[in-house]
């Protein structure tokens, strides 16, 4: 176990990370990546889940990067123990890009993990892969900042009331415009389009688990930022928790009511009109907002295909994907809602549309499904 004694306490502006991986080489490489960013400090580095549980009991941690397969105690066994010690800690699972890895990651998200990151297949990929580095830093910083805004830190026995650690110079405050709710007459939708990213699988399980199969007749299109393989497993888990017929979209298939279509990893999913039918098309156009699949292309296409008969929903996620597409939905006469900040893992995507003044409602996660069902029932 490696702890950083120079970073005790909770006063610093830095994001404190604990690495949990049985490979010392991997931990060393990830440490170097993370500590290139002055906003991040690696506060603990341990080799298995049991050591992680012990470390979290004694240290103030914002984000845990948790490997799944480890000796003594694996990541899935450690996850609920970590969340019991500190319910507010953000946990990112490290997973291989396999069906088994994707399934385990999805179960971890249902158990309370905040996100996952695909694990490079070799130390060479880990050391030199810019995609991995960019994704790792982006997720750690987004989840760490969300933790700082809503700390929910445990009270540790014997800890000083205000523990101290070195403080970085304060950053200028970034003041976001307040959310603005749009007052508009909402047409009964012919399609429901949902976009999500970080924290999205958990939010989708909650929404569709409430809005179960048969409660609405409209088709549901979902773009969740995920790699291939993971979207296959996401569809299976949605079917399991909701009873919907959920599956990855196939190029050229006709959209039918009462089904859930998910954009496959590495493909944008868009809608085209073909005679009297609406048809799904998959493409490998350049990433938008650094993502493929991206929410914006989906929303632009449903706005063009369905006009004012669109209900779009943006759930938790970092970045602003969905804003430009949402503006197209509103320009066509459709409606949009967003998840509120308090219930979002990261209020990037929903915050972007909420503060742009294009949402008819900004709702806590438990209220989203009832709102959609009520609006969809008017059809």
Residues with active-site annotation:
197, 225, 321
Instruction: Kindly state the tokens that stand for 90.
Output: 């953000």
Distances (CA, A) of 262 to 111, 151, 286, 349: 22, 33, 19, 18
Nearest Cα to Cα of residue 115 among 368, 370, 365, 344: 344
CA–CA separation, 178 vs 199, rounded Å? Answer: 22
Give the torsion sign (CA, 73, 79, 80, 86). positive
Asked if omega into 293 is within 30° of 0 (cis), the reply is: yes
d(CA 147, CA 89): 7
CA dist 50 and 77 (Å) reads 9
Query: From CA 109, how far away is CA 202, in angstroms rounded?
Result: 6
Non-local (6+) Cβ contacts of 86 within 8 A are 56, 61, 152, 153, 154
Where residue 199 falls (left for φ over 0; alpha for ψ -120 to 50; beta otherwise) is: left
């Amino acid at each position: 176990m490696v702890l950083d004694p120079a970073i005790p306490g909770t006063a610093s502006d830095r994001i404190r990370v604990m690495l949990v991986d049985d490979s010392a080489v991997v931990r060393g490489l990830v440490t170097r990546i993370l500590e290139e960013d002055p906003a991040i400090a690696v506060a603990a580095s341990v080799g298995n889940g049991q050591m992680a549980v012990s470390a979290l009991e004694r240290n103030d941690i914002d984000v845990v990067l948790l490997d799944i397969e480890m000796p003594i105690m694996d990541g899935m066994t450690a996850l609920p123990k970590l969340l019991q010690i500190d319910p507010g800690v953000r946990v990112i699972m490290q997973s291989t890009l396999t069906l088994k890895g994707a399934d385990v990651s999805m179960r971890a998200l249902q158990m309370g993990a905040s996100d996952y990151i695909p694990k490079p297949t070799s130390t060479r990929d880990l050391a030199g892969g810019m995609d991995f580095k960019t994704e790792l830093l982006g997720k750690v910083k987004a989840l760490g900042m969300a933790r700082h805004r809503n700390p929910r830190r445990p009270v540790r026995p014997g800890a000083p009331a205000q523990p101290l650690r070195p403080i970085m110079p304060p950053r200028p405050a970034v003041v976001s415009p307040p959310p603005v709710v749009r007052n508009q007459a909402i047409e009964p939708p012919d399609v429901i389009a949902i976009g999500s990213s970080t924290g999205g699988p958990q939010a989708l399980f909650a929404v569709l688990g409430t809005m179960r199969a048969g409660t609405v007749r409209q088709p549901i299109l979902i773009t969740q930022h995920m790699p291939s393989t993971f979207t296959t497993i996401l569809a299976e888990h949605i079917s399991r928790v909701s009873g919907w017929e959920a599956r990855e979209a196939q190029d050229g298939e006709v959209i039918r009511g009462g089904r859930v279509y998910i954009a496959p990893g590495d493909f944008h999913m868009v809608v085209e009109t073909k005679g009297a039918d609406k048809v799904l098309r998959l493409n490998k156009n350049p990433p938008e907002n650094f993502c493929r699949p991206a929410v914006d292309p989906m929303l632009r296409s449903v706005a063009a295909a369905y006009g004012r008969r669109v209900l779009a929903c943006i759930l938790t996620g970092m970045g602003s994907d969905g804003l430009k597409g949402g503006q197209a939905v509103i320009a066509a006469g459709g409606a949009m809602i967003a998840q509120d900040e308090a219930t979002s893992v990261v209020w990037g995507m929903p915050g972007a549309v909420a503060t742009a003044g294009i949402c008819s409602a900004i709702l806590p996660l438990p209220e989203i499904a009832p709102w959609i069902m009520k609006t969809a029932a008017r059809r």
